[in-house]
Amino acid sequence: GCILDGKLYPFGEIERTENCFRCSCSQHAMLCCSLFHTPTVYDKNNCKVVFNKESCDYDVVQKSDPSKECAVYSRV
């Protein structure tokens, strides 16, 4: 298998690791890509970015009230 962040994964396709990556594990290498997109354009003065491990994505919420979401105009 392959080891990623101290955890052993079996050979083959891994749909989702504990840290929100999709990976392919072979005897020669482990190739991974993220399942999330990073917000880049949003109201940085009034909002903050918080990683949501359950949904494997970033939430952009108001600094003054984290229960309210902010608009995101671009992600990468």
Is the whole-model pTM more than 0.85? no
Task: Read off the pLDDT band of 34 (50, 70, 90).
Answer: very high
May I ask the CATH architecture of the domain 39-75?
A: Single Sheet (2.20)
Q: What is the pLDDT of residue 37?
A: 92
Question: Which pLDDT score, from 0 to 100, does residue 3 have?
Answer: 92
State the average pLDDT over residues 58-74. Answer: 95
Average predicted confidence (pLDDT) for the chain: 94
- ∠ CA 24-38-53 to the nearest 5 degrees? 65
Helix (H, G, I), strand (E, B) or coil at 55: coil
Domain borders along the chain are 2-34, 39-75
